[in-house]
Chain A
Amino acid sequence: MLIQILNGIVYGGLLYLLAVGLVLIFGLREVVNFAHGALFMIGAYIGFSIAAMGYWWSGLLVSVFAMALVGCALDAAVFSTLRKHDHIVTVLVTFGILLILETVVTKVWGKAYLTYPVPPLLAGTVSIGGSPFPIYRLFVIAVSVAVAVSLSLWLRYTRTGLYIRAASTDARVTSMQGINVDRLSLIVVGLGTALAGLSGVVAGPLLSLSPTMGNYILIDSFIVVVIGGLGSFAGAFIAALLIGQIHNFGAVYLPWAATVLPFMLMVGILIWRPTGFAGSRT
C-alpha cells in the first residue's frame, strides 16, 4: 500500500515537472505548448546519448542546459510573435513544432525502444515497510520535491518571482508598470523547457525511450494543467499528485478503466468548474 502511494508520487512528480513548465509558459506567453512532450522526449534522448558513454550526471546537466537554450530560442523566434494571435492559433503552431521535433528524433535516434541506464550511485533498492523499493524512484521524488519547493520560494520571495506572478496574472498591465515582459518570458520559457528536459532525463530510466514517449505523458500533463486551472502553480501541484495516485491505483485495482479515469475526472471537473479548481482563466 505504502509502495503504491510512493509509486503514485513518482509519476505525479514527473507530471508536476512537465505541468509546471506548461503553466509557466502559458502564464507569460498564453501559449499552450503542444511541443512540451517533444521537448521532454528530446531531453531524454540527449541525456541518454551522454549517459550511454558513461557520464550519467553530465547527461543530466547537458540535457537541462540544452533544453533551456532551445526554450529561449523558441520564445524569441516563435512565441514572442504569437502574442497577437488567438490561443488556438498558438496551439496549432506548437502542434506543427511537435511534428517537426518528432521527425528529428526519429531521424537521429531511430524508432526502436532504447533503455536508459540507472546511474550506479542510485542503483539498488531500500526496504520500505518490508518491501523493496528502488532508490532511483526515491531520487525522482526528491528531484520533484526540490523543484517544487525552490520554485515556489523563488516565485514568492524574489523580485523576479514577483514580476512573473504579476505577468502571469496580466502581462499587459505588468508591462505598463515598466517591466520588460519579453525578457521575463525568455527566462520563464527557458526555465519551463529546462524542466521538461529534466523531467525527460529523470523519467528516462523509468520509461523506455521511443519517439512517441512524449505523447502519452503530455496528455496526462495537459489533464493536470486543466484540472488544476490554467495558469495556477499550486493547482498544478495538487492536480499532479492526484493524477499520479489515480494513475497508479487505477492500474492496480481497476486495470480496465485505469487509462480512462484521468479523462473522466477532467471532463467532470471542467463541467463542474470550467476554469479548473484553482484557475480563473479559460
Chain B
Amino acid sequence: MTTLIEARAAKPRRKPVGHAMLIGGAVAALAVGAALPWIVPTKIAMSLLAQAMFDALLATSVGFLILQNGRTSFGQAAFFGLGGYTIGVLVARQWVAPELALLAALILPTAVAFLLGLVISRITGVAHAMLTLAVGQAFYEVVFRWRELAKGDDGMSFDLPARVFGFSARKLQDPAFMLVLSWTILVLVLVGLVLFTRSRVGQVAAAIRDNEERARFLGYSTVMPPALVYAIAAFIAATAGILQACYNGYIAPQMFHWSTSGFALIMAIIGGAKFIFGPAIGAIVLFYIKDFAGQFAEYWPAIVGGILVVVTLTMPRGVVGLALLLWRRGTGR
C-alpha cells in the first residue's frame, strides 16, 4: 500500500535546508511579492491572483494536516468559513472594534479546531475524512438556515470600517494591495510551518503520525501535538477566510461547503501534500490551468476532476514531487 505520507526509515535523511537559506529564500519571495503589482499586467489579473493566494492558503492548511498529522480533512472549509463569518458578522454589526473582530476571527476557529482536534485525532483514514466532512457540513447547514445571523442562503455583504490599526481599511479591497498582502502572509505562513516541523513539538507530531503507539511508549503525550497541528491548520484556513471576506466584502454559506474543502484538498494533492510548499504551488498551478481553460470554463469541474484522477494515479507525490524527481535525475544526484 502506498500512503500519501510514506514512512521511510531506512533511507538516510537529506540534510535540511539551513536557516540562512530559508531566511534568504523568504526575503527573496517577499521582494518578489512587493514587486508583483508591477509584474502583473492588469487589475483583473491581480484580483484573480489574489483569489489564488486565498486558495493557496486554504490548500496549505489542508496539506499541512496531511503532512504533519497524516489525516485527510474533507471539512477544512469549516475554519475558512468560520474566520470569514466571524469578521463579517462582527464588522457588519459593529459590536466590537474592527481590530478586536480580527482577533476574534483568528482565535475562534483556532480554538474550535484545537478542541475538536483533541477528540478527532484519534480517528483515522476514511472515518476521519467522513467525520470532518460532517463537521464542515454541520456548520454549512447552520449558516444556511440561520437567516438572522447573516441572511442565510443569500449571503451578506458588509462595509469595511474606515480605519483598521490606523490604516485605511479601503486598501483591503484594492487588488494590488491585497495581492501583496496575501502573498506576504502566504510566505510568512510557509516559513512558519517549516520552522514548526523542525521544532520539538513538530517532530513529536510527526512521530505520532508515523506510529502513535511507539510515541506514547517513548513517553510523549500523544494528544496535545496533533491537536496543536489542527489548531495551526485552522488558523491558516481562518486567515484565508478573513482575507477573502474582507476583499470581497461578502460572506456566503458556500465558504463552508464541502466542495470548498474538496477543491482545497485537490489543490494540495495536485501540488504534492508531502511538501510544505506543495499545496500552495498546486493552487497556483490550478489557477493557471483555469486561466488557460478560459473558453471551456463551463467544463471546469470536469477538467479539474480529470486532472485529479490522472495526478493521483500517476504522480502520487504531486507536481512538486515530479519536479524534484526530474531535477534530481537532471543533476545526477
Contact = CB atoms under 8 A, between A and B. Distances in A.
B157 interface: no
Given A256-B145, A260-B141, A266-B131, A87 B302 contact: no
B305 A103 contact: yes
Contact of A96 (B72, B127, B144, B308): B308
A75 to B, nearest CB: 15
B266 A95 contact: yes
A89 B313 CA distance: 8
Interface string A246-280: 00000000001001101110110011001110000
Contacts of B131: 226, 266-267, 270
Residue from B3, B126, B302 with most neighbouring chain A CB atoms (10 Å): B126
Q: Which of B4, B120, B138 counts the most chain A CB atoms within 10 A?
A: B138
Contact of A103 (B122, B125, B302): B302
Given A92-B269, A263-B134, A263-B135, A270 B123 contact: yes
Contacts of B307: 96
Contacts of A81: 313
Main secondary structure of the interface of B (DSSP, over half): helix
Contacts, number: 132
A100 B302 CA distance: 4
A96 B125 CA distance: 19
B121 to A, nearest CB: 11
A81 B4 CA distance: 17
B201 to A, nearest CB: 24
From B3, B312, B316, name the one whose CB has the most chain A CB atoms within 10 angstroms: B312
A99 B127 CA distance: 22
B137 to A, nearest CB: 6
B258 A282 contact: no
Contact of B134 (A85, A91, A215, A223): A223
Contacts of A97: 305, 309
A86 B123 contact: no
Nearest to B268: A92
B129 interface: yes
Contacts of B304: 96, 99
A104 interface: yes
Given A100-B309, A282-B124, 20 more contacts: A32-B126, A32-B129, A32-B130, A81-B313, A86-B2, A87-B125, A92-B266, A93-B308, A96-B307, A99-B302, A100-B301, A100-B306, A103-B302, A219-B134, A259-B144, A260-B141, A264-B138, A267-B134, A270-B127, A271-B122
29 contacts: A81-B313, A85-B1, A85-B316, A86-B2, A87-B125, A89-B4, A89-B312, A91-B129, A92-B266, A92-B308, A93-B312, A93-B313, A96-B308, A99-B304, A100-B301, A102-B301, A103-B300, A104-B302, A106-B298, A107-B299, A219-B258, A260-B138, A263-B134, A270-B123, A271-B120, A271-B123, A274-B122, A274-B123, A282-B126
Interface of A: 32, 78, 81-82, 84-89, 91-93, 95-100, 102-104, 106-107, 215, 219, 222-223, 226, 230, 256, 259-260, 262-264, 266-267, 270-271, 274-276, 282
